[in-house]
Structure 1
Amino acid sequence: MQFNVVKTLSAAAVFLAFAGSAQAADATCEVNRPVKFGGMNWESNLVLVDVERFILEKGYGCETETLPTETLPALAALERGDLDVNTEIWLNSVAEPWEKAEKTGKVKRVGELYLGGESWFIPRYTAERLPELKSAADLPKFKDEFKDPEEPSKGRFYGCPAGWGCEVTSTNLFHALGLDDTYTLYSPGTGAAQKAALTSAYKRKQNVVFYYWYPTPLVGSMDLVKLDLPAYDAETHKCLTSPDCKDPKPSAYPENPVFTGVNTKFAREAPKLTEFFSKVAVPLPEMDATLAHMEESGDDAADVAQWFLKNKADVWTKWVPAEVAERVQAAL
C-alpha cells in the first residue's frame, strides 16, 4: 500500500460523520465525546467499522465518528490521538512504521482479527494461455501479453492502491524483481478504481497481472493463480515494508496478521471499550461469507454490517457482555 506524505488530520478535516446521535438509554459511554474510527476504503474494513460503531452506539451508549483516511496517515493519526481506533491493521504492510509507533507507547495492539494473505495473481485463463509463466521472475519474457495501453512497449503491473501501506511493499518488490525496464507499475488511485479495472479485464478475458490481498470479494469471486515468489525471508521482507529500503531484495509475502490498534490514552480512558476491541475476531470462513454476501447483494457497508449482526450473532456476541448483546439485538 508508494508512500504518501502523512497528512495532518485536524479538526478541519472533512469527516464522514455518521455520528451516532441516539445513545442507548440504559448505557453510559466511558468517554463523553464521539469515539473516532479510521475509515479505510476496502470492503472488510468498511463493514467491520460499521459493525463496531453500531455495537458502540446501541450497546455501550457511545457516539461515534469515522474519519476517511489511508493506511499510513491513519497510523500517524492514531499515534497523535486524532483517531481512537484503527479497526484493521495489516501488520506485514506496515511492519516498520507500526514498530516505531508502538515504541512511542502511544498506540497499542489489542485484538487479533484474522490471518490475511497477499500475493501476485494472474487469472487462470491467462495461466492456461501462458503455461510457462509460473513465477513473478518470468514476467519480463511475457511483457507483450500484459501491454500497458499508455506505454505499449512495456507491460502493466497493477500494484497496490496509492497511499495504502501495501503500496510500499509492492513497489519495493517490483523494483527488487528488476521489472522497471519491462513493466510500468500502475497504482490505482483508490481501492474501488483498482477493483473496477481488474473486474473489467477479467470479464473481457484480458491478460492481467496484479497484487491483491485476501479475504476479499474479488479474490473469492475470480478463478486466480498465484505467481511464485522467492522464499519468504523475514529480514528481507522487513526491508520491503520500509519506505526507506535502500536495496530491496525479493521475498514472498508471509501470512499477514490483521489486528486492531487503539490509542493508548483512549485505552486508559475506556477500559471496557478497549476490552471489547480486544475480543473482536472473525473466523476467515465467516469473513469470506460476509464479503461474498456484499458482492452478491451489491449492498453498501452499512447494510452488510446489519446483515452480519443479524446473521452472525454466534460470532459477535462473544465480543461483548450479555447485557450489551441484548441492547444491540433489540436495536436491530
Structure 2
Amino acid sequence: MILKSGGVAAAIAVAFLSAGSLPAIAQEADAAQCGTDRTIDIAEMSWPSAAALAHIHATILEQGYGCDVEIVAGDTVPTSSSMMTRGTPAVAPELWTSAIEEPWAEAIAEGTVVELSDAITDGTVEGWFIPQYTQDANPELTTAEAVIARPDLFPDPEDNSQGRLYSCPPGWACELSTSALFEAFDMEETWNLFSPGSGGALDASIARAFTREEPILFYYWGPTAILGKYPAVQLDIGEADMDVYKCNTDPDCDEPAGVTAYPSSPAVIGAAAWIQEEAPAVAEYFTKVGLTNAQISELLVYGDENQADAEETAENFLETKQDVWTEWVPAEVAEKVLAAIG
C-alpha cells in the first residue's frame, strides 16, 4: 500500500493520538473491570490478622481489578459507625460484630451496609487450652472438669501445692468471663488464677512452657500466631449460654457466676452497600475470600517470627499461598496480580 505524503502525516498523527490516549483507555478499562471509579477504602484494623487481610485485598483489587484503593486506619466501633452513616470505609475485611450487634443489624435492615461473607469460615476461637503433648500423655484431659481435677499436673511455679490457670490480660472483657468461670467451677481451693499483666506477658508464658514441653493451662483466643505456632488443644467447657455469658462479662451483674463456654464471635467481611451496587465484581470477590482459623494463624506466624508488618505479611501470603488466593479470582485477574508481585 502506497500512502501520499498527506496520508503519511495523517497516519503518524493518528499513531501519536492513539499512543497518547492509551493510558486513558487503560484507566477506563480498569474502571470498567473494577466497576467503579470511586476510591475503595479498606479498613486496616488494629489487630494483626485484620491488618494483613486489608493489605492482601488491597493488592488484589488494585493490581488485579484496576481499582483505586486506599488503606485507612480502623477499629471496630469507629469503622462500623462511619460505614453505616457515611458509606466509608468501603470494606472492613475482618469485622467482629458482637460488640456492635444491634446497630449493625439495623444498618443491614436499612440497606446501608452488607455482609459479603464470613472472614473466618470456621468461626473465631476462645477458651481454655492445654498443650497437645500434655493431652497425649493424659488422654482423659479433654474437658475443663477433667483438667480441674488434676491441679497437680499444672503446678503453680510460686506455689506447687496449687494448680495455675493463666488468665486473660487485665482490662479485657475476657478477664471478667475467665474469672467468673474460675468461680463457677469452684477452683479457689486447689487452683490459683494468675493474671499475666499483659498480652505480651501471657504470650511469653505460653511460649516458655511449650519450649520446655511443660504443662500449662491457659486462656487464649484465635486466630492468632500463638495457636498457629504451638500445638494446643481447646478444652470442652460445654455449650455456650448467652444469658450466663452476658452476666459473666458484666461487672454490674448481681447473679452468681455460671458455667458457659465462650461463644464464637462472628467475624465478617462488612461493606458499604454501594460496593454491591456499583462494583458487583468486587462484591463477588469478597464472597470468596474467607479463610479458616488455621490459615489465618499460619499467616500470623510468619509475621510474628519475622517481625514483619502487615504489608510484608500480606506480600508473603500472596507469594507463598498462590494456591489459595488464585481460587478467589478469575484467571486473568490472577495473572495481573502475579505479574505485579513478580
2:167–2:194 Cα contact (<8 Å) kept: yes
In terms of mean alpha carbon deviation, does 199-208 or 102-111 score higher?
199-208
1:293-308 matched pairs, under 5 angstroms: 293-294=302-303, 299-308=308-317
- Residue 30 of structure 2 corresponds to residue 27 of structure 1: yes
Output one character per residue of 1:80-121: Cα deviation in whole Å (capped at 9) or x when no partner: 445332212356xx2x63244222334322112311333211
SS in 2 for 1:249: coil
Judging by fraction of residues, say which structure has more helix. Answer: 2
The share of aligned pairs that are identical, in percent, is: 26
Output one character per residue of 1:196-245: Cα deviation in whole Å (capped at 9) or x when no partner: 4432444355654322233433223324343341x214544763696588
In terms of mean alpha carbon deviation, does 178-187 or 321-330 score higher?
178-187
In terms of mean alpha carbon deviation, does 204-213 or 140-149 score higher?
140-149
Distance in 2, matches of 1:77 and 1:148, equals: 48
Distance in 1, matches of 2:338 and 2:170, equals: 37
Distance in 2, matches of 1:161 and 1:280, equals: 34
Pick from 217, 223, 236 the counterpart of residue 209 of structure 1.
217
- Residue 123 of structure 2 corresponds to residue 120 of structure 1: no
- Residue 151 of structure 2 corresponds to residue 145 of structure 1: no
2:325 is aligned to 316
Q: Which structure would you say has the larger Rg?
A: 2
Pick from 202, 207, 216 the counterpart of residue 199 of structure 1.
207
Pick from 165, 177, 199 the counterpart of residue 172 of structure 1.
177
SS in 2 for 1:37: strand
SS in 1 for 2:30: coil
Distance in 2, matches of 1:267 and 1:244, equals: 41
2:340 is aligned to 331
1:120–1:226 Cα contact (<8 Å) kept: yes
2:269–2:286 Cα contact (<8 Å) kept: yes
Output one character per residue of 1:126-169: Cα deviation in whole Å (capped at 9) or x when no partner: 669999976545659849933689xxx9956331685xxxx435
Distance in 2, matches of 1:52 and 1:62, equals: 12
2:246 is aligned to 239
Pick from 237, 247, 268 the counterpart of residue 259 of structure 1.
268
Aligned residues: 296
CA 178–244 in structure 1, closer or farther in 2 if over 3 Å, else same:
closer
Pick from 59, 63, 66 the counterpart of residue 58 of structure 1.
63
TM-score normalised over the length of structure 2: 0.66
CA 241–74 in structure 1, closer or farther in 2 if over 3 Å, else same:
farther
Q: CA deviation at 1:174?
A: 2.8
Could you say what the CA RMSD is over the residues aligned between the two structures, in angstroms?
4.3
TM-score normalised over the length of structure 1: 0.67
1:158–1:209 Cα contact (<8 Å) kept: no
1:239–1:245 Cα contact (<8 Å) kept: no
In terms of mean alpha carbon deviation, does 198-207 or 215-224 score higher?
198-207
Distance in 1, matches of 2:142 and 2:206, equals: 20
Which amino acid letter does the alignment assign opposite residue 30 of structure 2?
A
Distance in 2, matches of 1:261 and 1:48, equals: 13
1:170–1:211 Cα contact (<8 Å) kept: no
SS in 1 for 2:104: helix
2:11 is aligned to none
Which amino acid letter does the alignment assign opposite residue 214 of structure 1?
G
Distance in 2, matches of 1:241 and 1:55, equals: 42
2:284 is aligned to 275
